[in-house]
Structure 1
Amino acid sequence: MYRILSLVCLVISTSAWATEDVVDNIVPEAPPLPNIIVIVADDLGWKDLGYQGSEIRTPRIDALANDGLTLDRFYAQPMCSPTRASLLTGNSTARLGITRALSKLVPTGLPLDQTILPQYLKDMGYQTSLVGKWHLGFRQREYLPTSRGFDSFYGHLTGGIGYWDHVHGGGYDWARNEEVLREEGYATHLMANEAVRIIKDRNPDEPLFLYAAFSAPHLPNEAPEETIATYADIEDPNRRVHAAMVTELDTGIGQIVDALEEQGMLDNTLIWFMSDNGGLNPSAAPPAALSAFTTLDEWFGDWELPLTILEFARVNFLEGGSDNGILRSGKGTLYEGGVRVPSFLYWRGKLQSRQVGDMVTVQDVLPSILSLLQSDAGNREFDGIDRWSVLQDGQSGEVRDYMTVALDGEALFQYPWKLIRFGEDDMELYNVEDDPSEQNDLAAVEEHAQRRDEMIAALDAKPRGEAVGVSLWRVFWDPDFFGGEENRQPWMEIVQ
């Protein structure tokens, strides 16, 4: 009997040891990859959101920003295509050769040797969708978003479109994947509805990357009449409609958040919101041009100017309704109002609510996302840098020089210093932390001469790729008008 009991005890003990060995050897399951949603507003001003002190009502955006990580020093490029190129590649727009908005006439687009964010994420098992504005080339099929890593595309290929007629530069510009889509409705509503559909119809076994590139509040000033009526207290008619457009954008973003919540996705979703450049308003126009077109506007009143290019310029110089607050100038310029833009991150339960004062740029977005995901691709060389430790833990780290480019010059940030070069002997130097309104030019101050000269040398050393674009004269004679008469083929139909 004793021998039997001893045998039983031995078996039990051996089983226990074996169980402990198995437990010790179990590898913890990796957490699921987060969903990534990048939301880009178009021409949104520094003071166009409620949480930034605006009179515009944006309760859904405000809630995300107030519970999230607001970036007080987030920098984009002065125009749309350059920012989008940098966002998706992690590289400098000067290196990419995309330094101005791509005209509908440009035969190429974002260089094909660049791997872009959806391609990196697809390699990690993500399903990828673009809803909204592409604006990185379309005339050759290999430049389409569906050839650059996006499983699906819904929206427009070019720059600004009419919100109701979906026309850009005379051509209808609304498509699903690679087919023209004749569809009625207000563009912001349609984009929000599509984003919600993608969230609901996704494959639940794969993480989702959604690039929601809204066209609002880019010109033309168009919004539903009932929303415009809620801003009857705003005297300036351009500001009134602009406010309505921003509120419609806010509603659309709220619908996306609600869909994430309904699908049980919100706790595992990172939302990164930004504007593609500063807001457009008359302060961004050259003073001489502003004076001339103000006079023409007074002469012609509600009549269009006799030449298309003059009318295009009038609209862009005079009808922008953005508010950039204390920041100087606006869209298209190298000043803070053109490049310092609203941005925040939201990830419920993962990112603490606080404000980040460190400089973060649009070319840092891709490397930071790859770092978050612990992707091997994050080890590649980018012009941008991984800022995830700053965002997640508040640990300040390396800040690289940042270059911005506009039609009339270039600028270099060695934060907090900023050098603007309009010409060989036409430069300005600011400390943008002490002087965010850029009122105190220090370029000619002797004590800053060494810094100025060192920054000039650093700017000269920046790599510059072959320019992607066409002659400005061609653009002048066939401008990229936003909305209006449809007088040629839909843009998707000319793809070769």
Structure 2
Amino acid sequence: MKPLLRVLTACLMALLSEQYCAHAIEASKPNIIYLLVDDMGYADCGFNGGKDIRTPNIDKLAKAGTVLKSFYVQPLCSPTRAALLSGRFPTRTGVYNVVTPGATWGLPLDERTLPQALGEVGYTTAICGKWHLGEFRPEYRPTQRGFQYQYGHMMGNLDYNTHIRDGKLDWYRDDKPLQEEGYTTTLIGKDASRVIRAQPKDKPLFLYVPFNGIHSPYQVPSSYSEPYKDLPKLRGTVAGMLSAVDEAIGQIVAALDEKGMRNNTLILFSSDNGGARPGQGTMNTPLRGGKGGIYEGGMRVAAFATWPGKIAAGATVDEPLHIVDWYPTLLKLTGASPQQKLPVDGKDIWPVLTKKAKSPHTALLLHGTNTNVKALRMGDWKLLLPASGKMELYNLATDISEKRNLADSQPERVKEMRAQLDALTKDAKPLGGPLPGTDKD
């Protein structure tokens, strides 16, 4: 019996050791939190030049990490979300514009999403906030796209207090309708904090927090807007809305600290597109244009990355980066499999963040809201093909506000960049859905 007992004991110890190692590997993976603010201007937050809105929690996080001064997204809500979760440009997914309520399309089902990839390596995956990538059939909704937990809304432009959009309730938990009272920004912050507090210590967490603040309709409890009563009415309301987002982010960070998770958490922050109604509601200074456009003000957003001891504090990166880059970067960082059937447009930007490396993009596609509106950045130069069809060329190093069109004086550069732009978009997918008529979403 003794030899048999020794064998059984050895087997048990090996099994326990294997389970321990698996738990240890999972626990060593970083927690990842993506904080996405809706329609925020480039210069709305203090860390990026804002002067009239107090954002102490956001600014503190930015100071603790590295600010990304040339970080690009898509010019509208849904395309940016699709780019983040797939690592692919609209030319691949067909998500150039907004997925409206009841639209019979969304992020294509053959896309391997970021939460799916992270779930494969042991992550708890949760979304608290705005989905906006399709809901007309169950398989397009968050819990079918890799998120193990969902809370918030499927669409944009819902009432902040009643959670109604176009006469219908747009508030869910685990993709099922949820009747609940409260200001959406506050509710999202509280639920995200609850997710953190409930997270097992031996499992890594991917928490995606896409706020609907500061998107229209412009609504905020008076306690937030009162400090800004001397600002013009719309600007004061937007300021209050951003203050509410800042407070919610402070609560999320506090939950991380209480749980002892902060030192092993990578926090990413950005807007989903340029500010809406720039100069009135938001501030994109010194950038030209705003939401929906391919000038810098529509696609270049305030952003940072923070991870104590891993990413330098108080630093800035001026290299051009894109939200598609987080997909391959996070897969490599977490040990998730990079193998998939669809090509990824994003590049690993970890060396840029941690070793002062150059951008991995020699040419960065900056696509607009339909197949005919697009731009390309190569180094400091940016070529635009706007709706007019007349090409524009700017040197962003000397003209960040895109005031001096150099296309006529730089014909060879235009020719070279146009050829590169055409090569990157020659196999572009058609539009996934109808063009939006306004910035309602």
TM-score using structure 2 length: 0.89
Q: Which has the larger radius of gyration?
A: 1
Q: Do structure 1's residue 449 and structure 2's residue 407 form an aligned pair?
A: no
Counterpart code for 1:336: E
Distance 1:57 1:432 in 2: 29
> Using the alignment, how far apart are the partners of 1:273 and 1:64 within structure 2?
9
Alignment-mate amino acid for residue 135 of structure 2: F
Moved more, 221-230 or 422-431: 422-431
Question: For the Cα contact (< 8 Å) 1:104–1:480, is it kept in 2?
Answer: no
> In the superposition, relative to structure 1, how do residues 244 and 406 fare at CA in structure 2: closer, same or farther (>3 Å)?
same
Residues 135 and 154 of structure 2 are in contact (CA less than 8 Å); yes or no, is this contact kept in structure 1?
yes
Note the residue ranges of structure 2 that are not aligned, 5 or more in a row. 1-20
Alpha-carbon offset, residue 399 of structure 1:
1.4
In structure 2, give the amino acid aligned to 1:267.
Answer: N
- In structure 1, give the amino acid aligned to 2:239: A
1:180 aligns with 2:177: yes
Q: 1:148 corresponds to which residue?
A: 145
Structure 1 residue 422 displacement after superposition: 2.3
Partner of residue 342 from structure 1, selected from 291, 302, 307: 302
What is the DSSP-based 3-state SS (H/G/I as helix, E as strand, rest coil) of the residue aligned with 1:136?
Answer: coil
Residue 16 (structure 2) aligns with = none
Q: Distance in 2 between matches of 1:166 and 1:406?
A: 27
The one-letter code of the counterpart of 1:358 is E
Indicate the residue corresponding to 1:266 in structure 2: 262
* Aligned residue in 2 for 1:365: 326
Runs of 5+ in structure 1 lacking a partner?
Answer: 1-26, 284-319, 483-496
Q: What do residues 83-122 of structure 1 show as CA deviations (whole Å, max 9, x unaligned)?
A: 1100111111122111111111421200111101000000
The alignment of Structure 1 onto Structure 2 pairs a total of residues equal to 412
* Aligned residue number for residue 419 of structure 1: 383
CA separation in 2, counterparts of 1:271 and 1:424? 39
Kept in 1, the 8 Å contact 2:319–2:359? The answer is: no
Question: What code does the residue aligned with 1:178 have?
Answer: D
What amino acid is the match of 2:269? F
Structure 2 CA distance for aligned equivalents of residues 348 and 220 of structure 1: 36
Quote the residue 1:387 is aligned against. Answer: 349
1:76 aligns with 2:73: yes
- Matching residue of 1:17: none
Match of 1:10 in 2: none
Name the residue aligned to 1:459. 421
Residue in structure 2 matched with residue 49 of structure 1 by the alignment: 45
* Structure 2 counterpart of 1:95: 92
1:397, CA displacement in angstroms?
4.8
TM-score of the two chains, using structure 1 as the length reference = 0.80
Q: How much does 1:187 deviate?
A: 0.3
What letter corresponds to residue 121 of structure 2 in structure 1?
M
Find the aligned partners of 2:40 and 2:439 in 1 and give their Cα distance. Answer: 20
Q: 1:25-67 deviations in whole A, cap 9, x for unaligned?
A: xx9x757101010110000101100112211000011001011
Deviations 1:181-220, CA, capped at 9 Å, x for gaps: 0111000000001001101112222111000011111111
1:480, distance to aligned residue in structure 2 (A): 9.0
Given residue 41 of structure 2, which amino acid in structure 1 is its aligned partner? Answer: G
207-216 or 94-103, which deviates more? 94-103
1:434 aligns with 2:398: yes
| Superposed counterparts of 1:5-84, under 5 Å | 32-54=28-50, 55-84=52-81
2:318 maps to a residue whose letter is G
Q: Is the 1:134–1:156 Cα contact (8 Å) retained in structure 2? A: yes
Q: Distance in 2 between matches of 1:43 and 1:425?
A: 27
Amino acid at match of 1:346: T
Partner of 1:405: 368
Whether 1:213 and 2:197 are equivalent positions in the alignment is no
Q: 1:247 to 1:146 in 2, by over 3 A?
A: same
Contact residue 152 and residue 177 of structure 1 kept, 8 A: yes
Check if 1:118 corresponds to 2:115: yes
Distance 2:190 2:243 in 1: 16
Q: How far apart in 2 are the matches of 1:338 and 1:145?
A: 27
Q: Does 2:294 match 1:331?
A: no
Q: Counterparts of 2:338 and 2:281 in 1: how far apart (Å)?
A: 41
Aligned with residue 249 of structure 2, among 237, 253, 257? 253
User: What is the Cα deviation at residue 378 of structure 1?
Assistant: 6.8
Moved more, 432-441 or 449-458: 449-458
